[in-house]
Amino acid sequence: MLKYKSMKIPNVLCKKNRILLKELTKTDFKLRYQGSVLGYLWALLRPLMMFAILYLVFSKILRFGGDIPHYPVYLLTGTTLWSFFTECTMQGIHAIVQRGDLIRKICFPKYIVVVSATLTAVINLLINLVVVIIFALINGVVPSVTWLLVPIFVVELYALSLGISFLLGAINVKYRDIASVWDVLIQALFYAVPIIYPMSMVIGASEIAAKLILLNPIAQVIQDVRYNLITDTTVTTWNYVDNPWLCLIPVFAVVVILALAAIYFRRKSKFFAEEI
């Protein structure tokens, strides 16, 4: 009887945690666009507006991407994934502080707050990926079985974003400057990832620099998604870096970042209610 009860209690707790996660995610998503005239349409308009500006400047004025098939889709895919990474980490970093009142009043696993905040970015990404696929079909991209591999790389990017959110979100509870520092870093990181410029330009300047860029997990994911979704002429970590062990560095980095961040977050979460 005691054994049955001990097994039943964790199941009840897991169910309550899932319900709480679901409700927090729904609340975060609704509050995100509350009071806005266009409402949920901003989930589509934000990355599309960013794409339009970049396409006008870098494709039409600076003439980037002339050697890349379906460059508009290529650029839209990059901006969509980058917007997801930016939104996911920024929401995750602020999650604990923004839910301070809830954390002080209710006892529950604190990671739920961060996960719920980042899941709103996942919802936006799924909506935007539908637009990317429609845009790709209109642009003449032929569907293939490799499209089925895209979710794997999206999960990898989400794991990286979640790890950063856990780590910096925990630090942000005590040191609020970390959010501003990350905002500056992410602006610099934008130019270190091949979103607007083709990898052929980097390879022409320095092969070492090209390999270093491709070992960045964000660049690896974006290039792999482009390779499997748009064109197999895309330069990726797997077809450019010779050493297969080096190709695993981005994946290994994501796993390490998520694991260490989760451990750090768990240790610090005991003191969130006191420090917020």
pLDDT in tens, 25-74: 877 766 666 655 455 566 666 667 767 776 676 666 656 656 678 888 88
Residue 161 lies in a domain: yes
C-alpha–C-alpha distance, residues 228 and 129, integer Å: 14
Residue 6 lies in a domain: no
pLDDT at res. 5:
46
Cβ–Cβ under 8 Å, residues 115 and 21: yes
C-alpha–C-alpha distance, residues 106 and 249, integer Å: 40
Cβ–Cβ under 8 Å, residues 93 and 168: yes
Residue-range definition of the domain harbouring residue 175: 21-275
Provide the 10 A C-beta neighbour count for residue 164.
22
C-alpha–C-alpha distance, residues 265 and 110, integer Å: 9
Residue 8 lies in a domain: no
* pLDDT at residue 268 greater than cutoff 80: yes
Percent with pLDDT over 90 in the chain: 41
Model confidence, pTM: 0.86
Q: Which two tokens stand for residue 99?
A: 């839910």
Residue 211 lies in a domain: yes
pLDDT in tens, 113-147: 999 999 988 988 988 898 889 888 988 888 999 99
- H or E segment at 93? helix 71-98
Residue 244 lies in a domain: yes
Cβ–Cβ under 8 Å, residues 88 and 169: no
Question: Which amino acid, 240?
Answer: Y
pLDDT in tens, 194-233: 888 888 888 888 889 999 999 999 999 999 999 999 988 8
pLDDT at res. 81:
94
Domain count within the chain: 1
Residue 248 lies in a domain: yes
Cβ–Cβ under 8 Å, residues 217 and 250: yes
